[in-house]
Amino acid sequence: MAEFKEISPNASAGAKFGNWMHNRFPTLFEAYRVHMSEYYAPKNFNFWYIFGSLALLVLVIQIVTGIFLVMHYKPDANLAFASVEYIMRDVPWGWLIRYMHSTGASAFFIVVYLHMYRGLIYGSYQKPRELVWIFGCLIFLCLMAEAFMGYLLPWGQMSYWGAQVIVNLFSAIPFIGPDLSLLIRGDYVVSDATLNRFFSFHVIAVPLVLLGLVVAHLLALHDVGSNNPDGIEIKGPKAPKDDKGHPLDGVPFHPYYTVHDVFGVGVFLMVFAAVIFFAPEAGGYFLEYNNFIPADPLKTPLHIAPVWYFTPFYSMLRAITSEMMYALITCVVLGALFGIFKARTAGFLKAIIAVAAVVVVAMMLSIDAKFWGVVTMGGAVIILFFLPWLDNSPVKSIRYRPSWHKYLYGLFVINFLILGYLGVQPPSPIGERVSQVGTLFYFGFFLLMPWWSRLGEPKPVPERVTFAAH
């Protein structure tokens, strides 16, 4: 048992209360010391490093606004749409809470995508931060599930039919598909049972998992330390012994980066408020116009598309057609041939590669393209988990990689944005071809990374982080 700390009888009331709390809850003060005041972060953070704290802020906004929305929402197929209208029209400040929640959903994905891109360009997934990256990818998966389930709750036309399309995709899985779709829906069509299931998961189950993963993500990060734009560790040169041996290239997270994050939060909240008060629908991207029409199982909208943050993956799903399968088969065969010719081991491994290629090609020819579309959509997310082992570059940060790497990463971002735009557009022959090329580029970027990440001569990496006071 820890000894009680004594304090002067002449101390202020605040100091006495702090000492009283410290003696009775020392774990709280220890957590503050470990994760804030004595957690040393690299001193060369730039603006890319505010998006992690912004994601945490938006998570809090979503939880708080969600609590108030649940007070008035009715998870009933006959009452759900009307309850949302009641919140918007009759509940005091209900319109503000609803718009904060709907805008927060899009804001969440914006800051998470930017946060993940920062990790991509600065190599934040490489040793020793593989587990930090994996926890982050799991958070992304949970966030997608949370957003999809919440998307159904307004019970508008796009909510209903979007859920109908996505849930029906699971039926394409061989053997278990129809039963899995039935299990998810709770009925043979999207109905009141589906609404209740999605409501339960959206409000209770997924948020609990999400919060646990966020805590794990932060603990894992603070155990190994933060990465920085130079991609080098700060645990090298130490300060004199009287400074407790802290790294010379690090500064305490509090107050230096708490102030840094407060500034970012201020800018974010101004933009966030501007969207809420002046453009909460964001031209139909944050809130689709069809979702202001009650769900009608007998009237299908002319064009069904998911909300914007899913559209890059939805575009990849639509890209997998019967003729696209032949292009994929060609890629599998070429990849197998490349592996056979490059394998330096005995013929046994080459035979395994050849047999595996034959099995995959046979499966691709025998199973419907719809299933492979679902596999492609899921694989586009799952492949992110393997990024720490796909990147073979000798340096972490984009700053010290060959210059052409920057253009390749730029093409990746442009390709992702194009796929997202095509996902909200009605199907067309030209759009189909572009999305097919974009899908091949997306997977080629990752699957060929073990090869292209080694190409070129990296620039010299400094021994200590580069920092200019500002």
Question: In this predicted model, what pLDDT tens digit does every residue of 83-95 receive, in sequence order?
Answer: 999 999 999 999 9
pLDDT of 50 > 70? The answer is yes
pLDDT of 1 > 60? The answer is no
Quick one: pLDDT at residue 242?
A: 47
This model's pTM is above 0.85 = yes
Whether residue 180 lies inside any domain: the answer is yes
Residue 41, helix vs strand vs coil: strand
Instruction: Let me know whether 226 and 109 are in one domain.
Output: yes
User: Any idea which of 65-74, 82-91, 284-293 has the lowest mean pLDDT?
Assistant: 284-293
- How does DSSP assign 124-162, residue by residue? TTSTT-HHHHHHHHHHHHHHHHHHHHHHHTT-BHHHHHH
Instruction: Let me know whether 321 and 286 are in one domain.
Output: no
Whether residue 369 lies inside any domain: the answer is yes
Residue 115 labeled ligand binder: yes
Instruction: Let me know whether 224 and 259 are in one domain.
Output: yes
**Residue 339 structural domain:** 308-452
Instruction: Let me know whether 288 and 316 are in one domain.
Output: no
Residue 217 labeled ligand binder: yes
Quick one: pLDDT at residue 148?
A: 92
Instruction: Let me know whether 205 and 277 are in one domain.
Output: yes
Instruction: Let me know whether 44 and 91 are in one domain.
Output: yes
**Domains in the chain, number:** 2
Residue 470 labeled ligand binder: no
